[in-house]
Amino acid sequence: MNSLLLLAAVVVAGQPMTEEPAMEELRSAVIVSQLSLSHQTAVLSELLNATREHNSFPQGPTCPYPYTLVLDECFYLSPHKVTWEPARRHCRGMMGDLATPKHLYAIRSFLLDVAKVEEIEHLHVYLGFRDAGRNGTWRWLDGRPVDAADWGPGEPSNSKGNEYCGQFRSHFDPMLNDIFCSTLNRFLCQYHPHN
Ligand SMILES: [Ca+2]
C-alpha cells in the first residue's frame, strides 16, 4: 500500500507543470462536448415527437382548381343552368363527370352553405344518376344502384312518364328527385383524375 502511494506521488511529482492546464482544457472540452450531446439529444427527441404528431394527422387530399374538397372528394358547382347532357359534357371536359358522391349529406351541407353565401333559399342541381334504360332502374354513373332510402318524399315520381334524369334538392330530406332531362339546372361535377 505504501509503495503504491509512493509510486503515485512519484508519478504526480514527475508530471511536468505545463501539462496541468492542458488537462483542464481537455476536461472542459469533454464537459462541453457532453453538454452539446445532451442538447442535441433533446432537440432530436423534440423533432421525433413533432414527426409522430404530424403523422397522426396526415395531410388529406387536395383538389385542383376549380374543384372544392368535401370530405375526401372534389366537387365543382356550376354557376349557370343547363340541361342534363350538356351538364355531363361540361364535367367530362374538366377531368370529371357529373357527381356521384359517396356522402349525400355532406353534399347537402356543402350546397346549403353555398346557398347561404349566395343568399338564396336552396339549390337544385343535377347529379350523376339517371334511369338510362327508361325502365325504372336508377343507377349512379359509377354503376351503383340508387339507394331507395335516398329518394325525396314521393320520389321517383316519374311525372307524365318522362323523368329520367337525377336531381338533388338541398332543402328536401332525403334529397334525390327524378326530373325531365330538359330542365335547366345548375350541376355538380366531381373530379376523377384518371378519367
Ligand atoms: Ca320527380
Judged by DSSP in three states, 6 sits in helix
Q: CA–CA separation, 195 vs 189, rounded Å?
A: 13
Cα of 130 from ligand 1 centre, angstroms: 12
High-pLDDT (> 90) share of the chain, %: 66
The per-residue pLDDT for 23 is 72
Cα of 162 from ligand 1 centre, angstroms: 10
Q: CA–CA separation, 146 vs 76, rounded Å?
A: 21
pLDDT, tens digit, 9 for 90 and up, residues 34-70: 667 777 767 666 766 665 555 555 567 899 999 999 9
Cα of 60 from ligand 1 centre, angstroms: 37
Cα of 135 from ligand 1 centre, angstroms: 15
For the cut 80, the answer to whether the pLDDT of residue 119 exceeds it is: yes
Q: How much is the CA Rg of the chain, to the nearest whole Å?
A: 36
Given the C-alpha cell 327508361, which residue does it identify? 134
Query: What pTM, to 2 d.p., does this model score?
Result: 0.70
pLDDT, tens digit, 9 for 90 and up, residues 59-107: 678 999 999 999 999 999 999 999 999 999 999 999 999 999 999 999 9
Q: CA–CA separation, 112 vs 122, rounded Å?
A: 7
The per-residue pLDDT for 129 is 98
Decide if 168 contacts 125 (C-beta within 8 A).
yes
Decide if 142 contacts 46 (C-beta within 8 A).
no
Cα of 57 from ligand 1 centre, angstroms: 43
